[in-house]
Amino acid sequence: MNARVTVIATMKAKPGKEAEVKQALMGLCKPTRAEKGCLNYDLHQSPDAATQFMFHENWASKSDLEAHWQSAHLQAWRKLAVDLLAEPTVVTLWGEIAG
């Protein structure tokens, strides 16, 4: 079964690069939200640490998420991230527990 998957992806901008990171990440939202299986793709920035960003994502299936990982816009972001991020992106996958 290919069940819905939730993703939490966190990034830390290099000091002084916060605005560039924010702009680049905001640019991922529209094309990602148009992808097959994207249920939500929401960008957040920490109110306490301006260098910290997080995506909260929900995908209809793991295969839809894997297709997203191969998308041209995400590949382009990965190239930019090398110069903009202080450390590698941390991605965790989650499955909802029905209550």
Task: For residues 5-32, give the mean pLDDT.
Answer: 98
Domain-located, residue 38: yes
Under 8 Å CB-to-CB from 61, ≥6 apart: which residues? 2, 3, 4, 5, 37
As to burial, measured by CB atoms within 10 angstroms (0-12 exposed, 13-18 middle, 19+ buried), residue 52 is: middle
Q: What is the pLDDT of residue 2?
A: 64
- Res. 53 pLDDT band, cuts 50 70 90: very high
Domain-located, residue 99: no
Domain-located, residue 80: yes
Tokens of 32: 């990602």
Q: Above 70 in pLDDT, residue 1?
A: no
Domain-located, residue 72: yes
Q: What is the pLDDT of residue 98?
A: 76
Query: Which structural domain, as residue segments, surrounds residue 40?
Result: 5-94
Domain-located, residue 59: yes
Q: Above 90 in pLDDT, residue 36?
A: yes
Number of domains in the chain: 1
pTM: 0.92
Domain-located, residue 20: yes
pLDDT tens digits, 74-92: 999 999 999 999 999 999 9
Q: Above 80 in pLDDT, residue 73?
A: yes
Task: For residues 17-34, give the mean pLDDT.
Answer: 98
Q: Above 60 in pLDDT, residue 14?
A: yes
Q: State the CATH number of the domain containing residue 20.
A: 3.30.70.100
